[in-house]
């Protein structure tokens, strides 16, 4: 998956630009930090603001479009797991836990997704006094057979799975944003800060529109097939 970048200096800098600058493309990176040299030689450092769960869901959607159905199931699954982490961090920050304390405890569960799920279930229950709506057991079995047993899913199955993950995360995201407004802001801030290096005075942040989105989460149901259509439309224009 690639991101289009347009150089800000070419776009807004001094002097006439003969033609509008065309986007250049960078490969998506794990650290969310992009050092970019435009064809005119301007160097920019940009940090992508989106959280891991937002990006991973998007990667799953692109994999679906491209026909990599096993990979899309794996990315949707990773998105859900990273969402649990996002929830736990936002709640911790909201309750004034320092990030070093959080990081120390997170280390104890970071290698085991079942531990993370357990932490999420009880943390959520404590906050909302009800158990969370999780991914249903059929979908969990399907995911396990794809990821652990090498099952090759059809497009339909991968799409259904992606839709189920979307339907699971979206309402939880709405609850998270409303219960932990400060915690969410601090989580985003931590994310950006960790990706900047000392001396990055000129680093800017960039936000991209994603299907699962902190910036666009009113709790309305999203239809994954329709969202894929959107992505296809944009991709043809890049
Ligand atoms: Zn430039």
pLDDT in tens, 213-234: 998 877 678 999 999 998 888 7
7 C-alpha to center of ligand 1: Å?
5
Are 32 and 106 part of one and the same domain? no
Give residue 26's pLDDT: 81
Q: How far is the CA of 5 from the centre of ligand 1 (A)?
A: 10
Distance (Å) from CA 20 to ligand 1 centroid: 11
Q: What is the Cα–Cα distance from 2 to 137, expressed in whole angstroms?
A: 34
Q: Are residues 9 and 43 in the same domain?
A: yes
Give me the pLDDT at residue 238, please.
Answer: 59
Ligand 1 centroid from CA 37, angstroms: 7
**Which residues are 35's β-sheet partners?**
45
At 151 the pLDDT is 95
Q: What is the spatial distance between Cα 137 and Cα 208, in angstroms, rounded to a whole number?
A: 32
Rounded distance from Cα 111 to ligand 1 centre (Å): 42
Whole-number Å distance, alpha carbon 202 to ligand 1 midpoint, is 14
Residue 175: what pLDDT?
96
> 30, 90, 44, 58: which is closest to 205 by C-alpha?
44
What range defines the domain where residue 32 resides?
2-48
* Residue 225 sits in the same domain as residue 124: yes
* CA 54 / ligand 1 centre spacing (Å): 28
Which residue blocks in the chain are alpha helix, DSSP H? 8-12, 52-66, 69-94, 99-109, 113-128, 137-149, 155-179, 181-195, 224-237
49 alpha carbon to ligand 1 midpoint, in Å? Answer: 21
Same domain for 28 and 94?
A: no
Ligand 1: centre distance to CA 209 (Å): 23
Instruction: Count the domains in the chain.
Output: 2
Residues 14, 117: one domain?
no
**What is the Å distance from ligand 1's center to 44 Cα?**
9
Q: How far is ligand 1, taken at its centre, from the CA of residue 42, in Å?
A: 5
pLDDT tens, residue by residue, 118-140: 999 999 999 999 999 999 999 99
Q: Looking at residue 161, what is its pLDDT?
A: 98
Shared domain check, 96 and 178: yes
pLDDT of residue 208: 85
Give me the pLDDT at residue 19, please: 58
Q: Are residues 24 and 105 in the same domain?
A: no
Domain co-membership, 71 together with 164: yes
Q: Answer whether 132's CB lies under 8 Å from 121's CB.
A: yes
Same domain for 30 and 78? no
Same domain, 57 and 159: yes
Same domain for 81 and 26: no
Same-domain pairing of 80 and 180:
yes
Distance separating alpha carbons of residues 33 and 4, to the nearest angstrom: 14
3-class state of residue 205 by DSSP: strand
Most distant CA pair in the chain, distance = 61
Q: Which residues surround ligand 1, an ion (CB under 5 A)?
A: 7, 9-10, 38, 40, 42
Cα–ligand 1 centroid distance for 6 (angstroms): 8
Q: How far is the CA of 10 from the centre of ligand 1 (A)?
A: 4
pLDDT score recorded for residue 236: 76
pLDDT along the chain (238 residues), means of 10: 77 61 77 83 86 95 96 97 98 96 96 96 98 97 96 97 97 96 95 78 80 83 93 78
Ligand 1 centroid–CA 38 distance in Å is: 5
């Amino acid at each position: 998956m690639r991101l289009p970048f347009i150089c800000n200096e070419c776009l807004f800098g001094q002097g006439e630009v003969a033609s509008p600058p065309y986007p250049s493309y960078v490969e998506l990176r794990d650290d969310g930090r992009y050092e970019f040299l435009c064809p005119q030689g301007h160097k920019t450092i940009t940090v992508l603001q989106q959280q891991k769960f937002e990006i991973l869901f998007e990667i799953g959607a692109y994999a679906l479009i491209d026909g990599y159905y096993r990979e899309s199931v794996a990315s949707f699954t990773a998105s859900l797991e990273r969402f649990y982490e996002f929830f736990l961090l936002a709640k911790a920050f909201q309750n004034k836990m320092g990030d070093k304390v959080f990081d120390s405890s997170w280390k104890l569960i970071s290698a085991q997704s079942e531990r993370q799920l357990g932490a999420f279930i009880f943390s959520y229950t404590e906050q909302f006094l009800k158990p969370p709506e999780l991914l249903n057991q059929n979908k969990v079995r399907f995911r396990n057979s794809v990821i652990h047993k090498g099952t090759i899913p059809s497009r339909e199955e991968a799409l259904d799975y992606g839709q189920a993950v979307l339907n699971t995360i979206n309402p939880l995201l709405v609850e998270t944003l409303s219960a932990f407004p400060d915690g969410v802001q601090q989580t985003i801030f931590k994310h950006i800060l960790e990706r900047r290096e000392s001396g990055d005075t000129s680093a800017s942040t960039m936000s991209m529109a994603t299907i699962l989105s902190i910036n666009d989460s009113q709790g309305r149901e999203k239809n994954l097939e329709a969202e894929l259509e959107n992505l296809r439309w944009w991709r043809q224009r890049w």
